[in-house]
Amino acid sequence: MARTEAQTFMPLLINLRHLEEQDLELKGELPAAELEFDVNDPMIRAEKPLLYELKVQQMDQSLLVQGKLHLALQCQCVRCLKAFEYPLDLAAWTRHLALEGEEKVPVVSDCVDLTPIVREDILLEFPQHPLCEVNCSGLPKPEVGKAKTAGPGKQKSTWAELDKLKF
């Protein structure tokens, strides 16, 4: 039977002592500030918290972490500049973390912090060029070649000003 730990607004810490008895299930949210996204893209902002549901299993000298990650990004369309929300979903997120060897994860006070690992995987899923719609046509194009009206019912000719010139 898996032990469930509900975490709200805390780093994603896995206590290895809790895994000795049974698997862990983590469910909660992590503020975007905790993930420390250093994105210098004005078209993408992470302001809402990351929602997660994870199951952690200890396998010999490693951890298997599986679950769902969801983050709603506030974006601006690169074509039309319209603001929109981009749902970033990692529905089948899985990571195998070594506890020994060259690629082992840091263990501090019997805890493994998943926050940097989650941050890395989410950053890889950020849209490169956010679009509000796949078929976004962009900003409205100015009408080229049409005369502007000078008043009600009157059209001002572009040649009219040249006709006033005296040589």
Reported as a pLDDT band with limits 50, 70 and 90, residue 9 is very low
**What confidence score (pLDDT) does residue 136 get?**
86
Q: Are 42 and 21 spatial neighbours (Cβ–Cβ below 8 Å)?
A: no
Q: Does pLDDT of 149 surpass 90?
A: no
Q: What are phi and psi of 88, to 5 degrees?
A: -100, 110
Question: What is the percent of the chain with per-residue pLDDT over 70, rounded to a whole number?
Answer: 85
pTM of this prediction exceeds 0.85: no
Query: Which of 8-22, 30-44, 113-127 is predicted least confidently?
Result: 8-22
For 47-93, what is each residue's pLDDT tens digit?
Answer: 899 999 999 999 888 999 999 999 999 999 999 999 999 999 999 99
Which residues, in sequence order, are CB contacts of 88 under 8 Å at separation 6+? 69, 70, 71, 72, 73, 122, 125, 126
Buried b (16+ CB within 10 A) or exposed e, 20-42: eeeebebbbbbebebbebeeeee
Which tokens belong to 163?
Answer: 């006709």
Of 11-25, 57-71, 131-145, the range with the highest mean pLDDT is: 57-71
Average pLDDT along the chain: 83
| The pLDDT value given to residue 151 | 55
Per-residue pLDDT at 8: 43
Measured CA to CA in angstroms, residue 17 lies from 26, 80, 114, 117, 130 at distances of 15, 52, 16, 20, 42
CA gap 8, 29 in Å, rounded: 5
Domain boundaries, the chain: 3-131
Binned at pLDDT 50, 70 and 90, residue 163 comes out as confident
Tell me the CA distances in angstroms from 66 to 59, 69, 138, one per residue in order.
13, 10, 39
pLDDT at 21: 82
Amino acid at 22: Q
- Element spanning 35, H or E: helix 32-35
